[in-house]
């Protein structure tokens, strides 16, 4: 079950965090993986890890906010079976503390970047007779989080895009779903704690972990396992859904 042999996947943000875990998992399950990554060093590191494990991988250094760059990558790959939009950035701030430059930056990556990749992917998915799109959203799209105005706005748009794409292409065998993680333990989280709470890293890590009712943060591999299922043939009856993977955060945190 859940094999991806003879299938081609494009994964944005595949050089770190959740995107890296998805790239490694998909390659391990037999997919030919194409990583879209802005950070060439991180991208090369993941590509080497996949190659050393005997997997098939191609790295494309690309800025997802630039539609021409994105289109060029998808033209190179040709027909695909899967797209996972994992590239994204975070921002801390309320509506009156988020300056226009930061708001635009978050929208460009987290919303326009997803649109650009979907726009480029649809023709290539049609060549394969259909396929699966996964958008990485967030629990920030589902509940009110403090100091996450721009990020929540962007992830809400991602969930809405997911529903729109699922509706528009259901007759062409293109499925589209989203995944909404709560806090996932990635290098980004460690860096955030180190920058903002020097000397209190363990205290803040424990505090952030306990905001999930289950008592810990999730792992990138757990998100990757859900993405694998949703892209597999076993999930062929699923489209237009958002999947919180959150240790009970959305439903039990009250």
Q: Looking up tokens 């079950």, which residue turns up? A: 1
- 115 an active-site residue? no
Q: Please check whether residue 126 is in contact with residue 174, taking contact to mean a CB–CB distance below 8 angstroms.
A: yes
Compute CA distances 207 → 101, 136, 151, 194, whole Å.
Answer: 31, 24, 21, 14
Query: Which distant-in-sequence residues (6+ apart) come within 8 Å of 156 by Cβ?
Result: 140, 141
Three-state secondary-structure class, residue 202: helix
DSSP string, 116-156: HHHHHHHHHHHHTT-EEEEEE--GGGTS--TTBHHHHHHHH
Token pair in block for residue 12 = 């944005």
Q: What is the C-alpha to C-alpha distance for residues 179 and 158, in angstroms, rounded to an integer?
A: 10
Token pair in block for residue 159 = 């969930």
Q: Is 105 exposed, middle or buried (0-12, 13-18, 19+ CB in 10 A)?
A: middle
Q: What is the C-alpha to C-alpha distance for residues 23 and 69, in angstroms, rounded to an integer?
A: 21
Which residue is catalytic, options 151, 169, 229, 243? 151
* Catalytic machinery residues: 151
């Amino acid at each position: 079950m859940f094999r991806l042999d003879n299938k081609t996947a494009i994964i944005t943000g595949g050089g770190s965090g959740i995107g890296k875990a998805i790239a490694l998992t998909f390659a391990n399950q037999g997919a030919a993986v194409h990583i879209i990554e802005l950070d060439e060093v991180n991208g090369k590191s993941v590509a080497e890890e996949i190659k050393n494990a005997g997997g098939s991988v191609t790295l494309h250094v690309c800025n997802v906010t630039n539609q021409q760059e994105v289109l060029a990558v998808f033209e190179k790959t040709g027909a695909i079976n899967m797209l996972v939009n994992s590239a994204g950035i975070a921002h801390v701030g309320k509506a009156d503390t988020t300056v226009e430059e930061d708001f635009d930056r978050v929208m460009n990556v987290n919303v326009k970047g997803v649109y650009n990749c979907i726009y480029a992917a649809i023709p290539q998915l049609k060549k394969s007779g259909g396929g699966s799109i996964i958008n990485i959203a967030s629990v920030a799209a589902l509940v009110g989080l403090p100091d996450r105005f721009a990020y929540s706005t962007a992830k809400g748009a991602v969930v809405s895009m997911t529903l729109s794409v699922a509706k528009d292409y259901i007759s062409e065998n293109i499925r589209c779903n989203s995944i909404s993680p709560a806090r996932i333990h990635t290098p980004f989280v460690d860096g955030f704690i180190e920058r903002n709470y020097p000397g209190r890293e363990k205290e803040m890590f424990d505090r952030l972990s306990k905001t999930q009712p289950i008592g810990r943060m999730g792992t990138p591999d757990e998100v990757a396992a859900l993405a694998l299922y949703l892209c597999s043939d076993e999930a062929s009856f699923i489209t237009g859904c958002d999947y919180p993977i959150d240790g009970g955060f959305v439903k039990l945190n009250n």
